[in-house]
Chain A
Amino acid sequence: GDSVTQMEGPVTLSEEAFLTINCTYTATGYPSLFWYVQYPGEGLQLLLKATKADDKGSNKGFEATYRKETTSFHLEKGSVQVSDSAVYFCALSDRTNQGGKLIFGQGTELSVKP
Protein backbone atom coordinates (compact mmCIF):
# COMPACT_ATOMS: atom_id res chain seq x y z
CA GLY A 1 0.00 0.00 0.00
CA ASP A 2 0.89 3.66 -0.09
CA SER A 3 3.43 4.87 2.47
CA VAL A 4 5.54 7.84 3.53
CA THR A 5 9.01 7.73 5.04
CA GLN A 6 10.62 10.68 6.82
CA MET A 7 14.06 11.19 8.24
CA GLU A 8 14.19 10.36 11.90
CA GLY A 9 14.46 13.03 14.54
CA PRO A 10 14.98 14.78 16.69
CA VAL A 11 16.75 17.40 14.63
CA THR A 12 18.48 20.11 16.64
CA LEU A 13 19.65 23.30 14.92
CA SER A 14 20.88 26.70 15.91
CA GLU A 15 18.84 29.74 14.98
CA GLU A 16 19.38 30.89 11.37
CA ALA A 17 20.66 27.47 10.28
CA PHE A 18 19.48 25.79 7.08
CA LEU A 19 16.87 23.08 7.49
CA THR A 20 16.19 20.02 5.38
CA ILE A 21 13.79 17.28 6.41
CA ASN A 22 13.75 14.42 3.94
CA CYS A 23 10.54 12.76 2.85
CA THR A 24 10.04 9.99 0.31
CA TYR A 25 6.86 8.22 -0.64
CA THR A 26 5.51 5.09 -2.26
CA ALA A 27 2.21 5.31 -4.07
CA THR A 28 0.42 3.24 -6.68
CA GLY A 29 -1.37 6.26 -8.06
CA TYR A 30 -0.45 9.92 -8.50
CA PRO A 31 -0.77 11.44 -5.04
CA SER A 32 -0.96 14.95 -3.71
CA LEU A 33 1.75 15.71 -1.14
CA PHE A 34 1.59 17.72 2.07
CA TRP A 35 3.62 18.94 4.99
CA TYR A 36 1.80 19.38 8.29
CA VAL A 37 3.23 20.97 11.43
CA GLN A 38 2.29 20.36 15.05
CA TYR A 39 3.41 23.05 17.48
CA PRO A 40 3.56 22.13 21.16
CA GLY A 41 0.08 21.87 22.64
CA GLU A 42 -1.65 22.53 19.33
CA GLY A 43 -3.36 20.52 16.63
CA LEU A 44 -1.93 19.60 13.25
CA GLN A 45 -1.81 22.49 10.78
CA LEU A 46 -1.29 22.36 7.05
CA LEU A 47 2.05 24.00 6.24
CA LEU A 48 2.19 23.54 2.47
CA LYS A 49 1.12 21.24 -0.32
CA ALA A 50 1.80 20.28 -3.93
CA THR A 51 -0.59 18.46 -6.21
CA LYS A 52 1.48 17.63 -9.28
CA ALA A 53 5.03 16.90 -10.34
CA ASP A 54 7.48 19.83 -10.17
CA ASP A 55 5.03 21.93 -8.17
CA LYS A 56 6.64 23.85 -5.33
CA GLY A 57 4.64 24.43 -2.18
CA SER A 58 5.73 27.29 0.05
CA ASN A 59 4.60 28.99 3.25
CA LYS A 60 6.25 30.88 6.13
CA GLY A 61 9.66 30.55 4.48
CA PHE A 62 9.35 26.77 4.10
CA GLU A 63 9.46 25.15 0.68
CA ALA A 64 9.07 21.67 -0.78
CA THR A 65 9.14 20.52 -4.40
CA TYR A 66 7.20 17.52 -5.70
CA ARG A 67 9.81 15.29 -7.37
CA LYS A 68 8.09 12.43 -9.15
CA GLU A 69 11.32 10.96 -10.53
CA THR A 70 12.77 10.51 -7.04
CA THR A 71 9.39 10.13 -5.25
CA SER A 72 10.44 12.81 -2.80
CA PHE A 73 9.03 15.95 -1.16
CA HIS A 74 11.83 17.29 1.03
CA LEU A 75 11.07 20.24 3.32
CA GLU A 76 13.55 23.13 3.37
CA LYS A 77 13.96 26.47 5.08
CA GLY A 78 16.87 28.80 4.62
CA SER A 79 17.00 30.25 8.13
CA VAL A 80 15.12 28.64 11.00
CA GLN A 81 13.84 30.46 14.05
CA VAL A 82 13.20 29.28 17.60
CA SER A 83 9.48 29.56 16.84
CA ASP A 84 9.85 26.85 14.17
CA SER A 85 10.39 24.25 16.90
CA ALA A 86 7.67 21.68 16.31
CA VAL A 87 6.99 18.24 14.89
CA TYR A 88 6.73 18.09 11.10
CA PHE A 89 4.75 15.44 9.25
CA CYS A 90 4.96 14.58 5.57
CA ALA A 91 1.76 13.13 4.13
CA LEU A 92 0.18 12.01 0.89
CA SER A 93 -3.34 11.71 -0.36
CA ASP A 94 -4.28 9.43 -3.21
CA ARG A 95 -6.27 11.61 -5.60
CA THR A 96 -8.36 8.62 -6.59
CA ASN A 97 -9.72 8.49 -3.07
CA GLN A 98 -12.68 10.82 -3.00
CA GLY A 99 -12.39 11.19 0.72
CA GLY A 100 -8.91 12.61 0.49
CA LYS A 101 -7.70 10.62 3.44
CA LEU A 102 -4.11 11.27 4.42
CA ILE A 103 -1.25 8.83 4.92
CA PHE A 104 1.38 10.29 7.23
CA GLY A 105 5.03 9.71 7.88
CA GLN A 106 6.17 9.14 11.43
CA GLY A 107 7.03 12.78 12.05
CA THR A 108 10.30 14.63 12.60
CA GLU A 109 10.80 16.69 15.71
CA LEU A 110 12.70 19.93 15.16
CA SER A 111 14.28 21.84 18.02
CA VAL A 112 15.82 25.24 17.27
CA LYS A 113 18.16 26.70 19.88
CA PRO A 114 18.82 30.44 20.22
Chain B
Amino acid sequence: GAGVSQSPRYKVAKRGQDVALRCDPISGHVSLFWYQQALGQGPEFLTYFQNEAQLDKSGLPSDRFFAERPEGSVSTLKIQRTQQEDSAVYLCASSSGQGVNTEAFFGQGTRLTVV
Protein backbone atom coordinates (compact mmCIF):
# COMPACT_ATOMS: atom_id res chain seq x y z
CA GLY B 1 0.00 0.00 0.00
CA ALA B 2 0.91 3.65 -0.22
CA GLY B 3 1.17 4.24 3.50
CA VAL B 4 1.38 2.58 6.89
CA SER B 5 -1.73 0.53 7.51
CA GLN B 6 -3.00 -0.45 10.94
CA SER B 7 -5.80 -2.80 11.87
CA PRO B 8 -8.24 -2.85 13.40
CA ARG B 9 -8.97 0.88 13.51
CA TYR B 10 -11.07 0.44 16.63
CA LYS B 11 -11.02 -2.30 19.24
CA VAL B 12 -13.15 -2.69 22.33
CA ALA B 13 -11.91 -5.27 24.80
CA LYS B 14 -13.24 -6.43 28.11
CA ARG B 15 -10.82 -6.09 30.98
CA GLY B 16 -8.67 -9.18 31.15
CA GLN B 17 -8.91 -10.01 27.44
CA ASP B 18 -5.86 -10.34 25.21
CA VAL B 19 -5.65 -8.15 22.09
CA ALA B 20 -3.44 -8.11 19.01
CA LEU B 21 -2.88 -4.99 16.95
CA ARG B 22 -1.42 -5.20 13.47
CA CYS B 23 0.85 -2.84 11.57
CA ASP B 24 1.70 -3.08 7.87
CA PRO B 25 4.60 -0.71 7.24
CA ILE B 26 5.50 0.87 3.94
CA SER B 27 7.07 -1.79 1.75
CA GLY B 28 10.83 -1.92 2.14
CA HIS B 29 10.98 0.19 5.28
CA VAL B 30 13.65 -1.09 7.63
CA SER B 31 12.62 0.66 10.82
CA LEU B 32 9.32 0.24 12.62
CA PHE B 33 8.13 1.98 15.78
CA TRP B 34 5.15 1.58 18.09
CA TYR B 35 3.81 4.47 20.14
CA GLN B 36 1.00 4.79 22.68
CA GLN B 37 -1.10 7.97 22.69
CA ALA B 38 -3.39 8.58 25.64
CA LEU B 39 -6.30 10.98 25.20
CA GLY B 40 -5.11 14.57 25.04
CA GLN B 41 -1.44 13.60 25.19
CA GLY B 42 1.40 13.24 22.76
CA PRO B 43 2.52 9.83 21.55
CA GLU B 44 4.89 7.94 23.83
CA PHE B 45 7.50 5.53 22.49
CA LEU B 46 6.94 1.85 23.15
CA THR B 47 9.36 -0.15 21.03
CA TYR B 48 11.55 -0.13 17.91
CA PHE B 49 12.47 -2.74 15.31
CA GLN B 50 15.19 -2.72 12.73
CA ASN B 51 14.09 -5.39 10.28
CA GLU B 52 13.13 -8.34 12.49
CA ALA B 53 15.34 -7.35 15.42
CA GLN B 54 13.72 -5.59 18.35
CA LEU B 55 16.47 -3.15 19.27
CA ASP B 56 14.68 -1.07 21.87
CA LYS B 57 11.74 -2.04 24.05
CA SER B 58 12.40 0.41 26.83
CA GLY B 59 8.98 2.05 26.50
CA LEU B 60 6.84 -1.05 26.99
CA PRO B 61 4.93 -0.29 30.19
CA SER B 62 4.75 -3.82 31.55
CA ASP B 63 5.43 -7.44 30.71
CA ARG B 64 1.83 -7.66 29.49
CA PHE B 65 2.97 -5.83 26.35
CA PHE B 66 4.77 -7.80 23.66
CA ALA B 67 5.69 -6.87 20.10
CA GLU B 68 7.08 -8.92 17.26
CA ARG B 69 8.11 -8.51 13.64
CA PRO B 70 9.18 -12.02 12.67
CA GLU B 71 9.88 -11.48 8.97
CA GLY B 72 10.96 -7.87 9.13
CA SER B 73 7.75 -6.56 7.62
CA VAL B 74 4.38 -6.81 9.37
CA SER B 75 4.44 -6.21 13.11
CA THR B 76 2.02 -7.18 15.84
CA LEU B 77 1.64 -5.53 19.22
CA LYS B 78 0.04 -7.85 21.73
CA ILE B 79 -1.40 -6.82 25.05
CA GLN B 80 -2.26 -9.56 27.50
CA ARG B 81 -4.86 -9.29 30.26
CA THR B 82 -5.87 -5.78 29.23
CA GLN B 83 -6.48 -3.17 31.92
CA GLN B 84 -8.45 0.07 31.72
CA GLU B 85 -5.24 2.09 31.75
CA ASP B 86 -4.30 0.43 28.46
CA SER B 87 -7.07 2.41 26.72
CA ALA B 88 -5.29 4.61 24.19
CA VAL B 89 -4.52 5.01 20.51
CA TYR B 90 -1.65 2.80 19.42
CA LEU B 91 0.37 4.26 16.58
CA CYS B 92 2.75 2.50 14.27
CA ALA B 93 5.40 4.31 12.23
CA SER B 94 7.96 3.14 9.70
CA SER B 95 10.98 4.67 8.04
CA SER B 96 13.41 3.69 5.33
CA GLY B 97 16.52 4.26 7.41
CA GLN B 98 17.65 4.25 10.97
CA GLY B 99 18.92 7.73 11.56
CA VAL B 100 17.32 10.83 12.96
CA ASN B 101 17.22 12.43 9.51
CA THR B 102 15.00 9.71 8.09
CA GLU B 103 11.34 10.66 8.07
CA ALA B 104 8.98 8.41 9.98
CA PHE B 105 5.56 7.81 8.39
CA PHE B 106 2.68 7.15 10.76
CA GLY B 107 -0.40 5.02 10.41
CA GLN B 108 -3.83 6.25 11.51
CA GLY B 109 -3.63 4.20 14.67
CA THR B 110 -5.76 1.67 16.49
CA ARG B 111 -8.03 3.09 19.19
CA LEU B 112 -8.24 0.55 22.01
CA THR B 113 -10.96 0.92 24.60
CA VAL B 114 -10.90 -1.43 27.57
CA VAL B 115 -14.23 -1.72 29.38
Q: A residues within 8 Å of B by Cβ?
A: 4, 31-32, 36, 41-46, 49, 51, 89, 91, 93-95, 97-107
B103 within 8 A of A: yes
93-109 of chain B: CB within 8 A of chain A: 93, 95, 97-104, 106-109
B interface residues, Cβ below 8 angstroms from A = 3-4, 31, 33, 35, 40-45, 48, 50, 55-56, 59, 91, 93, 95, 97-104, 106-109
With A43-B4, A44-B43, A106-B42 as contacts: A99 and B33 at CB distance below 8 Å: yes
Closest to B46 in A: A101
Which 4 residue pairs spanning A and B have beta carbons closest together? A104-B42, A44-B106, A99-B48, A43-B106
Note all chain B residues with C-beta closer than 8 A to A100: 31, 95, 97-100, 102, 104
How far, in Å, is A2 (CB) from chain B's closest CB? 11
Q: In whole angstroms, how far apart are the Cα atoms of A107 and B38 in the complex?
A: 11
Identify whether the interface residues of B are mostly helix, strand, loop, or mixed: loop
B103 to chain A, nearest CB (A): 5
Measured between alpha carbons, how far is A106 from B43 in the docked complex, in Å? 8
Residue of A nearest to B95 (CB): A100
Query: Complex: how many Å from CA A103 to CA B102?
Result: 15
Contact of A32 with B50 at beta-carbon distance under 8 Å, contacts A43-B107, A44-B43 already known: no
Question: Do the beta carbons of B108 and A101 come within 8 Å of each other?
Answer: no
The answer to whether A46 and B103 touch across the interface, beta carbons within 8 angstroms, is yes
Shortest distance from the beta carbon of B62 to any chain A beta carbon, whole Å: 19
Contact A107 B41 (CB under 8 A): yes
On whether A104 and B44 interact (CB within 8 A), knowing A46-B104, A51-B100, A97-B100, the answer reads: yes
Specify the chain B residue showing the minimal Cβ separation from A109.
B40
Q: How far is the CA of A32 from the CA of B104 in the complex (A)?
A: 13
Known contacts: A43-B91, A44-B91, A101-B33. The answer to whether A32 contacts B44 by CB under 8 A is no
In the complex, how many angstroms separate the beta carbon of B9 from the nearest chain A beta carbon? 10
**A99 lies within 8 A of B43 (CB):** no
Can you sample 14 A-B contacts with CB below 8 Å?
A41-B108, A43-B108, A44-B93, A51-B101, A89-B43, A93-B100, A95-B99, A98-B50, A98-B55, A99-B50, A99-B55, A99-B98, A100-B98, A101-B59
